[in-house]
Amino acid sequence: MMGCHKDEQEECVQHVKARLEAYGIKSPSVDADELIRRRRIAVGVIVTMAVTLAIAQLGNGQPVGVVVVRLGYMLIELPLLFIAVAHAYDHSLLRRYTPLKSLALSAAVAMSVAVGTISIAWLLGKVFPVIAGAFHPVQQRFFAAAAAGAFLGLMHLGIFALAVVYPFAAHDARVRALETEKLRTAAELARLRGHLEPHFLLNTLNAIAGLVTEDPREARRLLAALGDLLRDALREGDEMQTLEQEEAWLRRYAEILESRHKGSLSFRWDIDPAVRTARVPRLLLQPLVENAIKHGALRRRGGGVVTVRAARAGDSVECVVEDDGPGFSQGPIRQGAVGLSVVRRRVELKFERAAFRIESSTEGTRAIVAFEAPHATEVAAKSGAMAAAPQRA
Share of the chain above pLDDT 70, in %: 73
Spatial CA neighbour of 156 closest among 64, 50, 62, 256: 50
CA dist list (Å): 24 to 3, 77, 313, 379: 31, 33, 46, 39
Whether the per-residue pLDDT at 2 is higher than 50: the answer is: no
For residue 32, being part of any structural domain is answered with yes
Residues 277 and 239 in one domain: yes
Name the more confident of 321 and 53: 321
Q: Domain containing 343 — which CATH number?
A: 3.30.565.10
Rounded mean pLDDT, 334-343: 68
Residue range of the domain that includes 284: 210-388
- Burial class, 202, CB count within 10 angstroms (exposed 0-12 / middle 13-18 / buried 19+): exposed
Q: How far apart are CA 249 and CA 226, in angstroms?
A: 11
For residue 191, being part of any structural domain is answered with no
For residue 113, being part of any structural domain is answered with yes
Residues 227 and 124 in one domain: no
CB 357 within 8 A of CB 330: no
Most confident of 236-240, 252-256, 317-321: 317-321
Question: Considering 165, 180, 195, which residue would you say is the last residue of a domain?
Answer: 180
Question: Considering 180, 196, 223, which residue would you say is the last residue of a domain?
Answer: 180
Reported as a pLDDT band with limits 50, 70 and 90, residue 390 is very low
Whether the per-residue pLDDT at 21 is higher than 90: the answer is: no
CA quadruple 276, 232, 367, 191: dihedral sign: negative
Residues 150 and 242 in one domain: no
Rounded mean pLDDT, 369-377: 72
Residues 168 and 215 in one domain: no
Rounded mean pLDDT, 82-89: 82
Specify the pLDDT at position 7: 55
Q: How far apart are CA 361 and CA 322, in angstroms?
A: 11
Reported as a pLDDT band with limits 50, 70 and 90, residue 140 is low
Reported as a pLDDT band with limits 50, 70 and 90, residue 309 is very high
Specify the pLDDT at position 247: 95
Least confident of 5-14, 31-40, 62-71, 185-194: 5-14
What burial letters (b/e) apply to 247-256, b meaning 16+ CB within 10 Å?
A: bebbeebbeb
Q: What is the pLDDT of residues 259-302, one digit of tens each?
A: 888 889 999 999 999 999 999 988 889 889 988 998 899 999 88
Domain count, the chain: 2
For residue 193, being part of any structural domain is answered with no
Residues 56 and 143 in one domain: yes
For residue 198, being part of any structural domain is answered with no
Spatial CA neighbour of 82 closest among 172, 199, 202, 1: 1
Reported as a pLDDT band with limits 50, 70 and 90, residue 380 is very low
Reported as a pLDDT band with limits 50, 70 and 90, residue 151 is confident
SS (H, E, C) the chain: CCCCCHHHHHHHHHHHHHHHHHCCCCCCCCCHHHHHHHHHHHHHHHHHHHHHHHHHHHHCCCCHHHHHHHHHHHHHHHHHHHHHHHHHHHHHHHCCCCHHHHHHHHHHHHHHHHHHHHHHHHHHHCCCHHHHCCCCHHHHCHHHHHHHHHHHHHHHHHHHHHHHHHHHHHHHHHHHHHHHHHHHHHHHHHHHHHHHHHHHHHHHHHHHHCHHHHCHHHHHHHHHHHHHHHHHHHCCCCCEEEHHHHHHHHHHHHHHHHHHCCCCEEEEEEECHHHCCCEEECCCCHHHHHHHHHHCHHHCCCCEEEEEEEEEECCEEEEEEEECCCCCCCCCCCCCCHHHHHHHHHHHHHCCCEEEEEEEECCEEEEEEEEECCCHHHHHHHHHHHHHCCCCC
Residues 164 and 222 in one domain: no
Whether the per-residue pLDDT at 161 is higher than 90: the answer is: no
Question: Considering 158, 180, 202, which residue would you say is the last residue of a domain?
Answer: 180
Q: What is the pLDDT of residues 175-187, one digit of tens each?
A: 777 766 665 665 5
Q: How far apart are CA 167 and CA 323, in angstroms?
A: 56
Spatial CA neighbour of 257 closest among 323, 311, 310: 323
Residues 256 and 356 in one domain: yes
Specify the pLDDT at position 376: 46
Q: Are strands 304-313 and 265-271 parallel, antiparallel or unpaired?
A: parallel
Whether the per-residue pLDDT at 238 is higher than 60: the answer is: yes
The overall average pLDDT reported for the chain is 76
Whether the per-residue pLDDT at 102 is higher than 90: the answer is: no
Whether the per-residue pLDDT at 210 is higher than 80: the answer is: no
Reported as a pLDDT band with limits 50, 70 and 90, residue 319 is very high
For residue 199, being part of any structural domain is answered with no
For residue 393, being part of any structural domain is answered with no
Specify the pLDDT at position 188: 58
Residues 81 and 169 in one domain: yes
Least confident of 123-127, 142-146, 165-169, 225-229: 165-169
Whether the per-residue pLDDT at 3 is higher than 60: the answer is: no
Residues 154 and 239 in one domain: no
Share of the chain above pLDDT 90, in %: 17
Whether the per-residue pLDDT at 240 is higher than 80: the answer is: yes
- How many other β-carbons are positioned within 10 Å of the β-carbon of residue 131? 20
Specify the pLDDT at position 22: 41
Q: How far apart are CA 388 and CA 390, in angstroms?
A: 6
Name the more confident of 151 and 163: 151
Q: What is the pLDDT of residues 190-205, one digit of tens each?
A: 555 555 556 667 777 8
Q: Is the pTM of this model over 0.85?
A: no
Rounded mean pLDDT, 206-210: 77
Residues 175 and 222 in one domain: no
Residues 325 and 248 in one domain: yes
Residues 294 and 339 in one domain: yes
CB 2 within 8 A of CB 12: no
Specify the pLDDT at position 218: 83
Identify the bridge partners of residue 307 per DSSP, sorted by sequence position. 268, 322
Spatial CA neighbour of 135 closest among 150, 151, 119: 119
For residue 185, being part of any structural domain is answered with no
Rounded mean pLDDT, 134-141: 60
